[in-house]
Amino acid sequence: MKTIATLLLLTIAPAVSACGPVRMAEAQPIAAGQALPGGEWFKQAGCTDCHSISAYRMWNIAAQGPDLSLAVEDVPKRFGRSLEEFLHAPTGTMAMVLSSRIPLTPDERDVAIAKLHDAYRRHQGLPDPIRPLSSH
């Protein structure tokens, strides 16, 4: 019973934080293992081939890279530069990946930076600043 209550809470909490008060009849449960809306860009870009993005319930059990939900804080720790600086001039494995496997234009890198910040905010449980707190 405790597991069901926890699953229900995890299913409803994102809807409540994104849309303000939600009546139970309006809540749409998300099946276990189903990715949350908003993470599609990471899959389309190819990021999920090597990374998980836990903020969107996107798991890669064979992940070779770190969870991208934490990139905003992880990149400065690993590389001594901000996420923005790193993605515009990557080093190591990501230099190879972003030059050949997932080549991004400077504008696309800006989109990636924004998406990574969104994932980090979601990971922290903070609302998206672009989306209104209540749309009802």
Query: Is residue 23 in a domain?
Result: no
1 pLDDT more than 60: no
Residue 90 — very low, low, confident or very high, per pLDDT cuts 50/70/90? Answer: very high
Counting the structural domains of the chain, the total is 1
Query: Is residue 130 in a domain?
Result: no
Is the whole model's pTM more than 0.85, yes or no? Answer: no
Listing DSSP states for 92-128 in one string gives HHHHHIIIIIS---HHHHHHHHHHHHHHHHHHHTPPP
Query: Is residue 134 in a domain?
Result: no
Token readout for 41 is 């860009």
Query: Is residue 17 in a domain?
Result: no
Query: Is residue 110 in a domain?
Result: yes
Query: Is residue 49 in a domain?
Result: yes
Please write the tens of the pLDDT for every residue from 4-40.
Answer: 444 444 444 444 344 433 333 333 444 445 555 678 8
For residue 50, the enclosing domain spans 34-124
pLDDT value for 23: 35
SS3 assignment, position 23: coil
Higher pLDDT, 84 or 7: 84
Q: Looking at beta carbons, which pairs linking 102-105 to residues 24 or more positions away fall under 8 Å? A: 102/45, 102/46, 102/47, 104/45
Backbone angles phi, psi at 92, to 5 degrees: 65, -145
Query: Is residue 101 in a domain?
Result: yes
Query: Using CA atoms, how far apart are residues 2 and 16, in angstroms rounded to an integer?
Result: 21
Query: Is residue 51 in a domain?
Result: yes
pLDDT value for 114: 95
